[in-house]
Structure 1
Amino acid sequence: MKTSNKSSRRWIRIICVAVLVLSLLAGCGGNESTTNSGQDDTSSRNTAQEGKPFKITIMTQTFDADPAPADSPVIQAMEEYTGVDVDINWVPSTSYDDKLNTTLASGSLPMVVLAGSKSPSIISACRAGAFWELGPYLKDYPNLSKANPVILYNSSIDGKTYGIYRGRDLGRNGIVYRKDWLDNTGLDVPKTIDDFYNMLKAFTYDDPDKDAKQDTYGMVVTKYNGPFKIMLTWFGAPNEWGDDGSGRLVPSFTTDEYMDCLKFWKKMYDEKLINQDFAAVDPGKWNDPIYAEKAGVKVDVLDDAGRWEDQFKKAGISAVVDVIGAVEGPKGLRNLPTSGYSGMYLVSKSVKTEDDLKKVIAFLDKLGDKEMQDLLGWGIKDRHYKLVNGEIEPITDLPADIAREVHGTNQLLTYIPPENAMPRAQSELRKKASQTMKENEKIIVPNPVEPFVSQTDTYAKKGQQLDNIIEDARVKFIAGQIDENGFKNAVEQWRNTGGDKLIQEVNELYEKYKDSMPTMDNTSNSTTISQ
């Protein structure tokens, strides 16, 4: 631990670190097992005990103007726990991509680098050998071996795992709605697509807010096509790409199920169950009609339920909000997953040896321990948060210098395994939303080509143009500007513009990597990797 006598505040920080470290070590006496079995290198913890901590350099993003400094007691406690000397280069999120590209071009990379996405520069760097392939090592580590196979697949490049993803909920999508409105109409909670339609119709025509005016409508949508893609899975359509029955993958918009969903949306539009200006509405204003009590349903991320609840309370509106994971369609309960991750940590070849690589992976693995998820996620008990009935309550009125000690530290977490930390105190609605996300993971429909469409030559050159053709036709069909033949003409235009070539390239990659593709187990609905 680095010490200094510059100020009494410095000593206070050191005492906090010492107390935390002692409690962490006391609570994990057998924690030597957290390093991977069978390694013949000296563990970073043992190295630390010899007075020679292994040093790891990290470049990651921050959303705070004043990220945690190197002498933060939180950072120091992490170093003590992992036995690693960490040098973090915090880069503002607004300029992170530019900084990453500049760093990649320089050829002088930190040992651990956050890649916010699988950008062309990251894909090229991985193919050029700038980063270690990590996939073969993960099974040897107690936390990383629990990585979700769907998310590993989604974050892969050329069928290989180069990064340790920062996990997010796969089952995050669903329905958020005004339960008090539903009760006012006398309807039960929707279980099927027909029930969902009936709810939207009642919210539009049955005076759900009981003000004796027909001034509400069912579902608010914007020019963002996420809700449509979620509902496609309800109708049985594949997630972006699916098997046409012959083993060949085709785009979702070429299927009958896609057209069924498209017709349903046109019906909602024609009956004014959704806002008529949806194609021009900025997604940033999505919740405005909800807060104005003009619309009662939103199909998007379930996190919104808590935001609705907070906003209604703040405005003094007596509203009851609830969530539904999905409604049943012709193929049962199905839902659209997220990609499951927000960036991933890559290990560069500035780590010269396999022994050192294992030390870096061991460090990243330990960040999944409960002690580290608590520390980096919330800070130090009674300094940054209170523990009330086993739940975290952040201290909101901290002095700026103490608040800074934990700024951005959660960006280091991969959340593998997920939610290993103590829970934050939250409302019953937020708890239900979180539980619904977990249950949704049993019904998600994986995208078989999630990892590699962006890696095809055609999509790299014409992807945006191809996407725009279909998206424009989708909006025009819903608004009644084209009919089914008009949509088929748009699909034909897509094919002639490069779509057929894209289908060929996607299927070539599919044949190459399909043995590692995540599939749904038909008996348990659990996500598995086919062997």
Structure 2
Amino acid sequence: MGKGKKGVLPLLSTMILTTSVVSCSNSETTSNETEKSDTDNTITIMAPTFQPDPPGDDSPILKAIEKYTNTDIKMNWALNSSYSEKLNITLASGKLPDIINLSKEPSFISAVQDGAFWELGPYLKDYPNLSQANEIILNNSSINGKIYGIYRSRPLGRHGITFRKDWLENVGLQTPKTIDDFYNVLKAFTENDPDGNGKDDTYGMVVSKYTGPWDIMQTWFGAPNKWGEDADGNLQPDFMTEEYFNALKFFKKLYDEGLVNEDFAVMDTQKWVDPLLNGETGVIVDVVDHAHRAEEDMLAENPDLKELFDVIGSVEGPTGLHNLPTSGYAGMLAIPKSSVKTEEELKKVLAFIDKLNDKEVQILANNGIEGQHYEIKDGEFVDLKEGNEALLNESKGFNQFQPYIPEDRFYKPKQTPLRDKEAQILKENEQIVVPNPAEALISDVYGQKGQQLDNIIADARIKFIVGQIDEAEFKDAIELWRSSGGNDYIEEINKLYKEINK
């Protein structure tokens, strides 16, 4: 819980200057010189850059965003490679910009607990875009149920099943709709010569040492996402549920029958997709965009191939359709109290962040300026930046402070039918994802013992699937988990859960 990703910042001297600016335009002053005047429309933003020479103050895109939002934006860019290090230094300094792009890492959590950032949740309802934020993602990005940053949206329902469409036709099966259908597809892809070469050289599904496919498939059986409520309304880990065990037995069956690769537990994740591209296997369970990437890679090698892959979001289990969500966000925009000192100033900054989600600003930040960076020709988006390094450089980075709430609104190139289907599944999956009720909870026990606890169950799951331990021995592993800090973890999580659900 609360594992960190990344955050960013610029040189401290620059930040100290920009965050202490007081506007005295029109000869107006304030009684407190450390506060901004009513006419000061300066917004300082700290965001990551992936290029050594980020856009400057004279960027036409930045100026266009300033004009639309009626602000004077001061960008503090920092190279992504030094992101976390600079974040920690800046948080310790207390000298912060008005908006900082960061993630739910320990230094941010500590700063929140010290009262250094505004709690934003009570204000979101007052803004047309922010009021439409996804409740699951808000909870995922919160700290013990309270919102301290505007999340930067990413697809929540990104997981699905990619499979060889041509193989499915060759073995005479339809797109799977249930877990049993899915099993039958894997069986046929293993035993019925789906590639028609007369050889026994294929298998159903490729899995690597990355545990994501098992986690995704567990939800099909009705298992919770990491934590779920028991009959008394208390939270318990997923591996203590009957649904988890039903999924585990299914995984073992797939392994015993050779429907997944025997070496999955040690397969390098970098080589995970290779069997799919090499025609050794016909299914991969992961993000839905595997489908178009695999197809485009194979078409690049052999343009005569057509419609190789299809994709679906999930298959129906005992309790209906379920899917494992992503966290739904990549970092957040947080507002420090040291730079935004009053509620009035806070509302101005939130109004600015809200406008960043408008279609006009999203287009500027992601596509650029019409006629200069892109054009609309015959109703289709045409990117003029391709092959023009200068245009590319001046337009990069502005998406790093884009929340995309409630959705993407910028232009995208014309997509293939497969990419369009993936986009449709992303939206449909949002209706069937299984939230983790403990995602927002910051556990001290997990911070100290989380890796050890996770390893106990991860090792036991692999050993059960490959037949090294039986169900009784798996339950012994659960007891080891309990005695190694798991019981304390459960107690703490439930205490926190009850506090935020009073």
Q: Same fold (TM over 0.5)?
A: yes
Q: How does 1:81-96 map to 2 (within 5 A)?
A: 81-96=68-83
Give the structure 2 partner of residue 341 of structure 1.
Answer: 329
Cα distance in 1, alignment partners of residues 112 and 298 from structure 2? 47
Q: Match for 1:367 among 356, 366, 389?
A: 356
Q: Which moved more, 1:234-243 or 1:314-323?
A: 314-323
Cα distance in 1, alignment partners of residues 54 and 252 from structure 2? 48
The count of aligned residue pairs is: 464
- For residue 196 of structure 1, report the CA deviation from its aligned partner: 0.4
Cα distance in 1, alignment partners of residues 116 and 496 from structure 2? 23
Q: TM-score if structure 2 supplies the norm length?
A: 0.90
Give the structure 2 partner of residue 28 of structure 1.
Answer: none
Give the match's secondary structure for 1:269: helix
Give the structure 1 partner of residue 62 of structure 2.
Answer: 75
Cα distance in 1, alignment partners of residues 429 and 367 from structure 2? 27
Cα distance in 2, alignment partners of residues 476 and 343 from structure 1? 35
> Is the 2:152–2:332 Cα contact (8 Å) retained in structure 1?
yes
Give the structure 2 partner of residue 480 of structure 1.
Answer: 467
Give the structure 1 partner of residue 113 of structure 2.
Answer: 127
Structure 1 position 110 matched with structure 2 position 97: yes
- For residue 456 of structure 1, report the CA deviation from its aligned partner: 1.3
Give the structure 1 partner of residue 211 of structure 2.
Answer: 225
Read off the aligned partner of 1:333 and give its amino acid letter: L
Give the structure 2 partner of residue 204 of structure 1.
Answer: 190
Read off the aligned partner of 1:120 and give its amino acid letter: P
CA RMSD of aligned residues (A): 1.7
Per-residue CA deviations over 1:273-327 (Å, capped at 9, x if unaligned) read: 1111111122222211111111111111112222112211111161521111100
> Is the 1:367–1:414 Cα contact (8 Å) retained in structure 2?
yes
Structure 1 position 489 matched with structure 2 position 476: yes
Structure 1 position 170 matched with structure 2 position 159: no
Cα distance in 2, alignment partners of residues 386 and 284 from structure 1? 37
Structure 1 position 436 matched with structure 2 position 425: yes
- For residue 103 of structure 1, report the CA deviation from its aligned partner: 0.8
Structure 1 position 379 matched with structure 2 position 365: no
Read off the aligned partner of 2:435 and give its amino acid letter: P
Structure 1 position 139 matched with structure 2 position 128: no
Give the structure 1 partner of residue 384 of structure 2.
Answer: 395
Give the structure 1 partner of residue 406 of structure 2.
Answer: 417
Cα distance in 1, alignment partners of residues 270 and 50 from structure 2? 19
Per-residue CA deviations over 1:54-95 (Å, capped at 9, x if unaligned) read: 111111112334332221111110011111111112222222
Give the structure 1 partner of residue 23 of structure 2.
Answer: none
- For residue 250 of structure 1, report the CA deviation from its aligned partner: 0.6
Q: Match for 2:174 among 188, 209, 226?
A: 188
Structure 1 position 358 matched with structure 2 position 334: no
Give the structure 2 partner of residue 23 of structure 1.
Answer: none
> Is the 2:48–2:400 Cα contact (8 Å) retained in structure 1?
yes
Give the match's secondary structure for 1:279: coil
Give the structure 2 partner of residue 499 of structure 1.
Answer: 486
- For residue 212 of structure 1, report the CA deviation from its aligned partner: 1.4
- For residue 382 of structure 1, report the CA deviation from its aligned partner: 2.8
Give the match's secondary structure for 1:138: helix
Give the structure 1 partner of residue 258 of structure 2.
Answer: 272
Cα distance in 2, alignment partners of residues 474 and 81 from structure 1? 54
Give the match's secondary structure for 2:326: coil
Give the structure 2 partner of residue 519 of structure 1.
Answer: none
Give the match's secondary structure for 2:407: coil
Cα distance in 2, alignment partners of residues 273 and 396 from structure 1? 46
Q: Which runs of 4+ in 1 moved over 3 A?
A: 388-391
Cα distance in 1, alignment partners of residues 297 and 53 from structure 2? 28
Q: Match for 1:311 among 283, 293, 297?
A: 297
- For residue 241 of structure 1, report the CA deviation from its aligned partner: 0.8
- For residue 389 of structure 1, report the CA deviation from its aligned partner: 4.4
Structure 1 position 66 matched with structure 2 position 53: yes
Give the match's secondary structure for 1:435: helix
> Is the 1:153–1:159 Cα contact (8 Å) retained in structure 2?
yes
Give the match's secondary structure for 2:48: strand
- For residue 162 of structure 1, report the CA deviation from its aligned partner: 0.6
Cα distance in 2, alignment partners of residues 113 and 183 from structure 1? 51
Give the match's secondary structure for 1:405: helix
Mark the runs of 5 or more structure 1 residues left unpaired by the alignment. 1-46, 516-531
Read off the aligned partner of 1:351 and give its amino acid letter: V
Mark the runs of 5 or more structure 2 residues left unpaired by the alignment. 1-35
Q: Match for 1:464 among 441, 451, 455?
A: 451
- For residue 395 of structure 1, report the CA deviation from its aligned partner: 2.8
- For residue 255 of structure 1, report the CA deviation from its aligned partner: 0.9
Read off the aligned partner of 2:92 and give its amino acid letter: A
- For residue 396 of structure 1, report the CA deviation from its aligned partner: 4.9
Give the structure 1 partner of residue 320 of structure 2.
Answer: 332
Cα distance in 1, alignment partners of residues 98 and 368 from structure 2? 25
Give the structure 1 partner of residue 14 of structure 2.
Answer: none
Read off the aligned partner of 1:417 and give its amino acid letter: P
Per-residue CA deviations over 1:362-399 (Å, capped at 9, x if unaligned) read: 11100000001111011112322232444433235343
Give the match's secondary structure for 1:280: coil
Read off the aligned partner of 1:305 and give its amino acid letter: A
Give the match's secondary structure for 1:261: helix
Q: Match for 2:495 among 499, 505, 508?
A: 508
- For residue 461 of structure 1, report the CA deviation from its aligned partner: 0.6
Cα distance in 2, alignment partners of residues 262 and 65 from structure 1? 48
Per-residue CA deviations over 1:476-528 (Å, capped at 9, x if unaligned) read: 1111111111111110000000000100011111111136xxxxxxxxxxxxx
> Is the 1:66–1:407 Cα contact (8 Å) retained in structure 2?
no
> Is the 1:53–1:83 Cα contact (8 Å) retained in structure 2?
no
- For residue 421 of structure 1, report the CA deviation from its aligned partner: 2.4
Cα distance in 2, alignment partners of residues 190 and 386 from structure 1? 41
Structure 1 position 234 matched with structure 2 position 223: no
Q: Describe the shift of the 1:360–1:56 C-alpha distance in structure 2 as closer, same or farther (beyond 3 A).
A: same
- For residue 134 of structure 1, report the CA deviation from its aligned partner: 0.9
> Is the 2:453–2:485 Cα contact (8 Å) retained in structure 1?
yes
Structure 1 position 292 matched with structure 2 position 278: yes
Read off the aligned partner of 2:198 and give its amino acid letter: A
Q: Describe the shift of the 1:266–1:65 C-alpha distance in structure 2 as closer, same or farther (beyond 3 A).
A: farther
Read off the aligned partner of 2:492 and give its amino acid letter: E
Cα distance in 2, alignment partners of residues 123 and 93 from structure 1? 20
Per-residue CA deviations over 1:389-414 (Å, capped at 9, x if unaligned) read: 44433235343222111111111210
Q: How high is the sequence identity, in percent, across the aligned residues?
A: 56
Structure 1 position 54 matched with structure 2 position 41: yes
Q: Which moved more, 1:387-396 or 1:459-468?
A: 387-396
